[in-house]
Amino acid sequence: MYSLIINGGVPLHGEVPISGAKNAVLPLMAACLLTREPCVIRNVPDLSDVQFLGRILTSLGAKVRFAGDSVAIEANRIQSFADYDLVRRMRGSICLLGPLMGRLRRAEISLPGGCVIGSRPVDLHLKGMRALGAAVAIAGGYVKARAKRLVGAEVFLGGRAGPTVLGTANVMMAASLADGVTVIQSAACEPELVDLANFLNAMGARVSGAGSPTIVIEGVKQLHGAEHAAIPDRIEAATFAIAAAATRGEVTLTGARPDHFHAVLDKLQEVGARVDRREGRLTVKGTRELQPSDVTTQPYAGFPTDAQAQMMTLMTQARGISIITERIFESRFMHVSELARLGADITIEGPSAVVKGPTKLSGAPVMASDLRASAALVIGGLIARGQTRVRRIYHLDRGYERIDEKLRRLGARVKRVQE
């Protein structure tokens, strides 16, 4: 197991390339199961989650080959049973349900695991499959689904905390090979779903409306192979943008899509950071005097829950009181106690965190609880005086490609050490 040792107090300066989006690549890889023909996905980040899904696809019978930033997948002969011990360890593996049902009309997948950030039920995924005509049950820790045929239907996917992203992806993929027309109402609108729709259409599907609350899928008889480049990771971009503001540095994000994380950039400008979009380049520059702000996480295109922890770290440096409210996951404040070890003054009041600043953070050993909490603690270490050790960084490696190397390119004093 590895840790990051950070000697903070150094502003970040320079350029950092933004990798392909993990949350786009995982459904794209799963979609390759919908055809017997070879598919190639480019701009694939080298992440443990991506490699892990490759192992799961291999266990299903697909041929998976990684080369550089591409992955070639050929699913000529596959089975419907996904290995329990593999699937239960990764939340994103639930995205296999839709393509297995579309291709084979049956699926048997263990209930998935992932970060401990609150309840993330799969009920909307199951609702979507049932609407298309599948018989679905949960037994022995497995989701078991079967259908003689899938038939297009109108499916409402709104949930307690908003639309389901992977649930929308699953219905899109299954419905692509269903009989008739499927209409998803209250669909998730994330850019990653637009990316998936573009890939499905390149394979011969007929998907329209992706990126809006209503998606229409006209089922086709079969899909063919295709090549596709995944979009850049908006959460990685948001993380480096926040880190630039937090360290009072200046960082240019190459390859980022500002239109995919407007809400984060808007908040950064609100607190006093300079955001410069010019000639296809995005530069974020910090300021010595940061202003407090109120942030509420919302479904896209609102402020993303995946950037909440990082923003909280930034707000410890603002002059005044900031209120950060989490509306997506009820247990996504596990980073607060670890930020307190660095000297942060944060109080939890129901779904909100009250952040008082500015506080002088000082280095300390901290423990990461999940992927985005890890990023928040890294930013805290970059701000803090002295040395910070961030333990359990396997969470970071699930979602940030070589983050320690990228930070060193920006001047940070960061090294990876084995426990």
Distance between CA atoms of residues 232 and 237, nearest Å: 8
Distance between CA atoms of residues 7 and 10, nearest Å: 8
What's the predicted TM-score (pTM) here?
A: 0.96
Mark 103-135 as b/e (b = at least 16 C-beta within 10 Å). bbbbbbbbbbebbebbeeebebbbbbbebbbbe
Mean pLDDT of 250-275: 97
- 41: pLDDT confidence band, cut at 50, 70 and 90? very high
Mean of the per-residue pLDDT values for the chain? Answer: 94
Residue pair 79/57 in contact by the 8 Å Cβ criterion = no
**pLDDT at site 92:** 77
Catalogue the active-site residues: 115
**pLDDT at site 120:** 46
- pLDDT greater than 90 at residue 87: no
Using one digit for the tens of pLDDT, what is the confidence trace for 88-118? 777 778 999 999 999 999 999 888 654 443 4
Mean pLDDT of 242-249: 98
- 139: pLDDT confidence band, cut at 50, 70 and 90? confident
Total residues found in the chain within this entry: 419
- 369: pLDDT confidence band, cut at 50, 70 and 90? confident
CATH topology of domain 22-224: UDP-n-acetylglucosamine1-carboxyvinyl-transferase; Chain (3.65.10)
Residue pair 327/296 in contact by the 8 Å Cβ criterion = yes
Structure tokens of 140? 């022995």
Mean pLDDT of 358-379: 95
- pLDDT greater than 70 at residue 331: no
Span of 88-97, 137-146, 254-263, 340-349 with lowest mean pLDDT: 88-97
* Fold match flag (2-19+232-418 vs 22-224): yes
Mean pLDDT of 396-401: 95
Please enumerate in sequence order all residues whose Cβ is within 8 A of that of 147, keeping only pairs 6 or more positions apart, or say none. 101, 105, 106, 129, 132, 133, 134, 135
**pLDDT at site 348:** 96
Domain residue ranges of the chain, discontinuous segments joined by +: 2-19+232-418, 22-224
Q: Which CATH class is domain 2-19+232-418?
A: alpha beta
